[in-house]
Amino acid sequence: MNAKKVHIRKRIEQVQRYIEENLDTPVTLEMLAEQCGYSTLYFHSIFTGMVGEGVKEYQRRLCLQRAARQLLLTDKSIMNIALEAGYESQEGFSRAFKKRFDFPPLKFRKLQPQYNTLSGGKLMNTTTLPTSDLTVTIKNCTPITVAAVRHTGPYANCKNAFKTLHKWSRANGLYGTYRPVVGVSYDDPRTTPQEKLRYDACMAIPENFVVTGEARKYVIHGGRYACCIHKGSYATMPQTFTAILGHWLPDSGEELTNHPPLEVYLNCPSVTAEAELRTEIRIPFK
């Protein structure tokens, strides 16, 4: 097997072991991502795709499984078990425990005589990934000179930045000719407060074009990208992103960079049915 394939899997396995050995220690995505050498934006999707659940869900599930063993095999109080599992109240612990094991803690404890017949139960919040029709190709992409309007806040509201960009393009004589429209997401909404998320709405422009006003000019990094067409709603794009990083990447033999991923919009949402939207996701590689 390619050494890079093993390397990626080994990194994630090491993170899993670290979480398992430090269940009572708060861990952050930033810390775990740094251990792996990835940005948090990429790390969480790789972990989720390979493990089947996010870091917090993984740690929470292991804590609840430990709590289940304690209920069955010790005489610790439910409150103490709840505190050890990271819950501040017995009520919150009971709700989470029942969701995981289908029984509230007290009733579960009474199952002790049937301990040997219990099964593992269901995973919490397992992510369903659209991998069956996932087609990823490696492309050498040229740098793109763009005019960009920055949006800070929930990604769902980035359309306001595009409105500003379109208004700017009309005022500068660029509207009406086909120019690739690109979105650049800098932050992971799972690790960054919604009000601090950074996103650039971009439009390709001639290299020598002078940009003034509400837009700023910069060059999007060129090079090797893993490219995949996302079909349908922009709201489900994170699932395709996770599928690429969590299912395709580990066996690809490729290595990520820390440049942000790109979303190249292939048609216009104002004149295209949601189911017919097409977006090329580009993830930069070394």
* Confidence at 143, pLDDT banded by 50, 70, 90: very high
Q: 181 and 241: one domain?
A: yes
The length of the chain in residues reads: 286
**Contact present, 154 and 197 (Cβ < 8 Å):** yes
Q: Which amino acid is at 163?
A: K
- CATH number for the domain that contains residue 248: 3.20.80.10
pLDDT at 125 (0 to 100): 36
List Cβ neighbours of 109 (8 Å cut-off, separation of 6 or more). Answer: 71, 72, 78
Q: 182 and 62: one domain?
A: no
- Residue 103 resides in a domain: yes
Alpha carbon distance 113, 99 (integer Å): 22
- Residue 266 resides in a domain: yes
**Contact present, 3 and 252 (Cβ < 8 Å):** no
pLDDT tens-digit map of 191-248: 567 888 889 999 999 999 999 888 999 999 999 999 999 999 999 998 898 889 888 8
In 142-208, which ranges are continuous DSSP H helix?
159-171
Q: 146 and 246: one domain?
A: yes
Q: How far is CA 192 from CA 40, 131, 149, 188, 249, in A?
A: 10, 27, 20, 6, 24
- Residue 7 resides in a domain: no
Q: 83 and 147: one domain?
A: no
Q: 91 and 182: one domain?
A: no
pLDDT tens-digit map of 54-72: 898 888 888 988 888 788 7
Its domain, for residue 85, covers 57-117
- Residue 199 resides in a domain: yes
Q: 275 and 141: one domain?
A: yes
Q: 149 and 259: one domain?
A: yes
- CATH number for the domain that contains residue 105: 1.10.10.60
Q: 166 and 267: one domain?
A: yes
Q: 93 and 151: one domain?
A: no
* Confidence at 41, pLDDT banded by 50, 70, 90: confident
**Contact present, 198 and 114 (Cβ < 8 Å):** no
Tokens (6 digits) for 24: 């009572």
Q: 157 and 230: one domain?
A: yes
- Residue 43 resides in a domain: no
Q: 65 and 194: one domain?
A: no
- Residue 183 resides in a domain: yes
Say how many domains are in the chain: 2
Widest pairwise Cα distance in the chain: 78
- Average pLDDT over the chain, rounded to whole? 84
Alpha carbon distance 62, 39 (integer Å): 25
pLDDT at 127 (0 to 100): 44
Tell me which of 257 and 167 has the higher pLDDT.
167
- Residue 20 resides in a domain: no
Q: 81 and 158: one domain?
A: no
β partners of residue 137: 227
Which residue has 């104002």 as its token pair? 270
- Residue 48 resides in a domain: no
